[in-house]
Amino acid sequence: MHRIVESLIVCVLVLTLAVPAFAGHHDQGPAKQAIVLAAFGTSYPEALKSILNIRTRIEKAHPGTLVRLAFTSGIIRNIWKERRDDAAWQKANPGVPEDVLFVKSPLATLADLSDAGYKDVTVQSLHVFSGEEFADLKNTLIGLRSIRTVKAKSLPFTAMRLGRPALGMPGDAHPYTEDIAAAAQALKADVDEAGKMDAALVYMGHGNDFYSTGIYAEFQREMQNRHDYPVYVACVEGYPAFDDMLALLKQSGKKNVLLKPFMIVAGDHASNDMAGDEDDAWKVLLAKEGFTVKTDLRGLGMVDAWADIYVRHLDDALAQTHLLP
Q: With respect to residue 107, please indicate whether it lies within any of the assigned structural domains.
A: yes
Does one domain contain both 91 and 161?
Answer: yes
Measure the CA–CA gap between 30 and 28, rounded to whole angstroms: 7
CATH number of residue 29's parent domain: 3.40.50.1400
Q: With respect to residue 16, please indicate whether it lies within any of the assigned structural domains.
A: no
Residue 238 pLDDT class (50, 70, 90 cuts):
very high
Does one domain contain both 163 and 232?
Answer: no
Q: With respect to residue 98, please indicate whether it lies within any of the assigned structural domains.
A: yes
Percent of the chain with pLDDT over 90: 84
Residue 28 pLDDT class (50, 70, 90 cuts):
low
pTM of the model: 0.89
- In the chain, the number of structural domains is 2
Q: With respect to residue 3, please indicate whether it lies within any of the assigned structural domains.
A: no
pLDDT of residue 4: 43
Q: With respect to residue 179, please indicate whether it lies within any of the assigned structural domains.
A: no
Measure the CA–CA gap between 199 and 260, rounded to whole angstroms: 12
Measure the CA–CA gap between 223 and 232, rounded to whole angstroms: 8
Is 239 within 8 Å of 217 (Cβ atoms)?
yes
Active site residue 269: no
Q: With respect to residue 43, please indicate whether it lies within any of the assigned structural domains.
A: yes
Does one domain contain both 83 and 127?
Answer: yes
Does one domain contain both 146 and 248?
Answer: no
pLDDT value at 11 more than 50: no
Does one domain contain both 313 and 290?
Answer: no
Residue 26 pLDDT class (50, 70, 90 cuts):
very low
Does one domain contain both 110 and 257?
Answer: no
Residue 2 pLDDT class (50, 70, 90 cuts):
very low
pLDDT digit string, tens, across residues 244-291: 999 999 999 999 999 999 999 999 999 999 999 999 999 999 999 999
Does one domain contain both 47 and 165?
Answer: yes
Q: Please, what's the b/e burial string for 303-313 (b: 16 or more CB within 10 A of its CB; e: otherwise)?
A: beebbbbbbeb
Catalytic member of 2, 62, 127, 206: 206
Does one domain contain both 192 and 275?
Answer: yes
pLDDT of residue 31: 82
Q: With respect to residue 4, please indicate whether it lies within any of the assigned structural domains.
A: no
pLDDT digit string, tens, across residues 192-222: 999 999 999 999 999 988 888 999 999 999 9
Measure the CA–CA gap between 203 and 223, rounded to whole angstroms: 11
Q: With respect to residue 25, please indicate whether it lies within any of the assigned structural domains.
A: yes
Does one domain contain both 28 and 167?
Answer: yes
Residue 227 pLDDT class (50, 70, 90 cuts):
very high
Does one domain contain both 44 and 142?
Answer: yes
Does one domain contain both 144 and 268?
Answer: no
pLDDT value at 21 more than 70: no
pLDDT of residue 20: 41
Does one domain contain both 101 and 151?
Answer: yes
- Give the contacts of 322 (CB within 8 A, at least 6 positions apart): 14, 17, 18
Q: Which domain holds residue 222?
A: 188-298
